[in-house]
C-alpha cells in the first residue's frame, strides 16, 4: 500500500513537471521578441491614426451638412439625425485620441528608441575604432616579419653560392 502511494506521488510529480516544461516551451515559441512587438506597436499606431483621420473627416462632413441643412431648410428630423452622427463621431474621435495617448505611455516612445539606437551606434563606433587599432597593430607586426624574412633571405643568399640558391 505504501509503495503504491509513493509511485503515484512520483508519477504525479513527473506529470506536473512535464506539463510545466511543455507550457514553458509553448509560451517561448508563441511569445514575440522585442522587434516584433515594436513592429506590432507601429502597425497599431498607424491604424489608430487612420481611424482618427477618418473620424475627423466625418466630423467635418457632418458639420458642413448640418450647417447647410439649418441654413437651407430646417427639417427637424434630418437635422437631429445629422447632429446625432456629428456628436457620435466627435465622441469616437476623442476615445481614439485617448487610446493613442495611452498606447504611447504604455510602450516605448520614438525618442527612447532613437536614443537607444544612438547609444548603440556610439558603442559600435568605439568597437570599430578598437578593431581598426588592432588591425593596424597586426599589419605592423606582419610588416616587421616581412622585413625580418627579407633580411634573413638576403643573409642566406649572400653566404650560399649562386648555383645553390637559384630556386629562391
> Higher pLDDT residue, 94 or 79?
94
What are the pLDDT digits (tens) for 58-69? 999 988 888 888
Domain boundaries, the chain: 1-31, 34-107, 113-168
Which residue bears the cell 510529480?
A: 13
pLDDT value at 135 more than 70: yes
Name the residue among 9, 94, 19 with its Cα closest to residue 51: 94
Exposure pattern of 127-159 as b/e (b: 16+ CB <10 Å)? eeeeeeeeeeeeeeeeeeeeeeeeeeeeeeeee
What are the pLDDT digits (tens) for 81-107? 888 988 999 999 999 888 888 775 555
Amino acid at each position: 500500500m505504501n509503495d503504491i502511494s509513493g509511485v503515484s506521488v512520483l508519477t504525479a510529480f513527473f506529470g506536473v513537471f512535464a506539463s510545466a516544461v511543455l507550457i514553458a516551451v509553448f509560451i517561448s515559441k508563441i511569445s514575440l521578441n522585442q522587434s516584433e512587438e515594436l513592429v506590432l506597436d507601429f502597425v497599431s499606431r498607424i491604424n489608430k491614426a487612420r481611424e482618427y483621420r477618418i473620424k475627423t473627416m466625418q466630423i467635418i462632413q457632418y458639420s458642413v451638412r448640418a450647417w447647410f441643412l439649418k441654413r437651407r431648410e430646417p427639417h427637424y428630423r434630418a437635422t437631429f439625425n445629422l447632429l446625432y452622427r456629428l456628436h457620435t463621431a466627435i465622441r469616437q474621435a476623442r476615445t481614439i485620441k485617448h487610446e493613442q495617448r495611452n498606447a504611447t505611455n504604455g510602450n516605448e516612445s520614438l525618442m527612447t528608441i532613437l536614443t537607444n539606437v544612438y547609444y548603440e551606434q556610439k558603442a559600435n563606433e568605439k568597437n570599430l575604432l578598437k578593431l581598426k587599432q588592432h588591425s593596424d597593430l597586426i599589419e605592423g607586426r606582419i610588416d616587421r616579419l616581412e622585413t625580418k624574412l627579407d633580411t634573413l633571405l638576403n643573409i642566406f643568399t649572400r653566404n650560399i653560392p649562386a648555383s645553390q640558391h637559384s630556386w629562391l
